[in-house]
Every structure is written in structure tokens, then in C-alpha cells.
Amino acid sequence: MSSKRAFDIFVTVLAAIAWVPALLLSALAILVLEGRPVFYVSTRVVGRNRTARVVKFRTMIKNAELVCNRKVIPVTDGVRFLNTPADSPLYTPIGRLIERIAFTELPQLWLVLKGEMSLVGNRPLPENVMAALREENADVDARLDTPAGMTGPVQLIGRERLSDAQRLDLERTYCRVALEGNTWRLDFLVLLYTVLAALRLRYPMRYRGVRKFILAHAGPMVRPQLVDDIPLEAKAGPATRE
């Protein structure tokens, strides 16, 4: 068993006293206030040549994916990652609250226990988003070198818009560092900062800050290769907020 897998099991089981009641209360709140379905299920790419049915709490109106036609990937300012703005009218009142306190992904803890996902990694994406990203990024699959996660370094930035180059750079950099092994400290801090951000006890980070944070946990073999390996688009400066 890898140290990353051992970390996932240990933290998930230890934290069950907190996340099980949170999951049950969230499900009950959605059921009472919005009705069925309580969950949103989508097939996502979770690793190289691996997909899984990823479950989230339904935080939007029924059939929201048809209303906003998520089968078509909108390209806005060159950005192909789907990111619904926090003020979107698609969110239900209880869904907006669940999003704000970062409970949306809690049902995926079952996939973590099964070993199909990790607590920390790059978020799983629909295949059509992956295909859209491949149009401009030949090595997009490098973000799949470690298991998809419930949260990851990119999520420490919050709702600030990243260019595709910036986001993929952070995701690939995390994979390179994680593949060295012994990433439990990095994963622990990503989880901790995610919780603190959800509780409004920590400000979102910027692209360069997150990259520096990941590199601080890189080993001597990988770090020199990654320090100057920044995409030209990312070197131009931070992207604008949504």
C-alpha cells in the first residue's frame, strides 16, 4: 500500500465522526427543501484510461445540465475548464449554502474508501472537457498521473479564474511531486487549507503562491526540473477574477 493510499484511508476513517453526520444532514436538507434527486451523478475521468461514476450533492435546479447544455464546452477567453460562477441562478438556496461550506463533494468519500479516488488530487473531469482541453494541450493526460481527488492545489485558489495553461501547470506539477511519494504532508496541508478556506478562516491563494507551495514539498530530484518549467502564458501574470 502506498503512503498516499494509507493517508487517504487513515484520514477518511478518522474523520468519519465529522463527515458522516454532515453528509446525512446535507442529504436530508436537500430532500426536504428541494426534493429528489438528492445526488448528481456524472461519469468522470479519474485516471489514465479510468472513469468512475462520481457522486455529488445536487446543488442546482433539476436538469441544470440541460439548461446550461454542459455537453457543449464553452470557450471563454481561451478557458475550457467548466466553472459555474458562485452567483449563478442555477443554484438552489440550500445548494448555494452547501457549495459555500464545501460539502458538495462529501459523497465522493465512498470512492476514496474504494480506492477509485484520493482525498487530494486533480479534480475529475467529464470526457468532453478532457477532449476540449486536448485541442490546445497535447499533454493534458499528465494531470491523470495520480488519482483524481476531492480537492487539490487548484481549489486553494477558490473562484479566481485561471487560464488553462496555469491550471494544467499546477495539476501537472502536483502529479510530478506526488509521484515521488511521501506526499502526506503536502496532502494534509491541502486538506487543512481547504477546510480553513471553507470556514472563511483563510484567504484564497494566487497561482504563483500555490505553485511555490507545491514546489516546497518537492524532492531534490524533481524540484530543479520544475522551478523554471512555467508555461509562457502563466509567466505573463495572474488571470482576472470572474
pLDDT for residue 90 is more than 80? yes
Q: Answer whether residue 185 is part of any domain.
A: yes
Of residues 227 and 4, more confidence is placed in 4
Q: What is the length of the chain?
A: 242
Section 18-45 average pLDDT: 97
Q: How many domains does the chain have?
A: 1
pLDDT for residue 168 is more than 90? yes
Percent of the chain with pLDDT over 70: 86
Section 62-81 average pLDDT: 68
Distances (CA, A) of 47 to 67, 107, 141, 144: 29, 19, 9, 5
Q: What's the pLDDT score for residue 89?
A: 87
Round to whole Å and give the CA distance between 119 and 224: 27
Q: What's the pLDDT score for residue 151?
A: 96
Q: Answer whether residue 241 is part of any domain.
A: no
C-alpha of 117 from chain center: 11
Q: Answer whether residue 242 is part of any domain.
A: no
Domain that holds residue 50: 3-235
pLDDT for residue 13 is more than 80? yes
Q: How confident is the model at residue 64 (pLDDT cuts 50, 70, 90)?
A: confident
pLDDT for residue 78 is more than 90? no
Distances (CA, A) of 100 to 138, 159, 222: 34, 11, 36
Strand positions, DSSP E, 139-227: 149-151
Q: How confident is the model at residue 70 (pLDDT cuts 50, 70, 90)?
A: low
- DSSP string covering 111-162, please? HHHHTSSEEESPPPB-HHHHHHHHTT-TTGGGGGSS--EEE-GGGGGTTB--
Distances (CA, A) of 63 to 36, 75, 229: 11, 22, 42
pLDDT for residue 230 is more than 70? no
- Structure confidence by residue, pLDDT tens digits, 92-144: 999 999 999 999 999 999 999 999 999 999 999 999 999 989 988 888 999 99
Section 169-190 average pLDDT: 92
Q: How confident is the model at residue 226 (pLDDT cuts 50, 70, 90)?
A: confident
Q: What's the pLDDT score for residue 225?
A: 72
Q: Which of 47-61, 78-92, 178-192 has the lowest mean pLDDT?
A: 78-92
Work out whether the CA dihedral 230, 234, 237, 241 comes out positive or negative.
negative
Round to whole Å and give the CA distance between 192 and 195: 5
Rg (CA), the chain: 17
CA-nearest of 40, 22, 33 to 92 is 33
C-alpha of 196 from chain center: 16
Name the range with the highest mean pLDDT among 25-29, 67-71, 78-82, 235-239.
Answer: 25-29
Reduced to 3 states, what is the DSSP secondary structure of residue 91?
strand
Q: What's the pLDDT score for residue 172?
A: 95
Q: What's the pLDDT score for residue 228?
A: 63
Reduced to 3 states, what is the DSSP secondary structure of residue 208?
helix
Who's near 13: CB < 8 A, 6+ residues apart?
none
Average confidence score pLDDT of the chain: 87
Percent of the chain with pLDDT over 90: 64
Who's near 55: CB < 8 A, 6+ residues apart?
39, 40, 41, 107, 108, 110, 111
Q: Answer whether residue 240 is part of any domain.
A: no
Section 222-230 average pLDDT: 70
Backbone torsions φ then ψ of 191, nearest 5 degrees: -60, -45
Q: Tell me how many helices (H) and strands (E) the chain has.
A: 11, 4
Q: What's the pLDDT score for residue 69?
A: 55
Q: Answer whether residue 208 is part of any domain.
A: yes
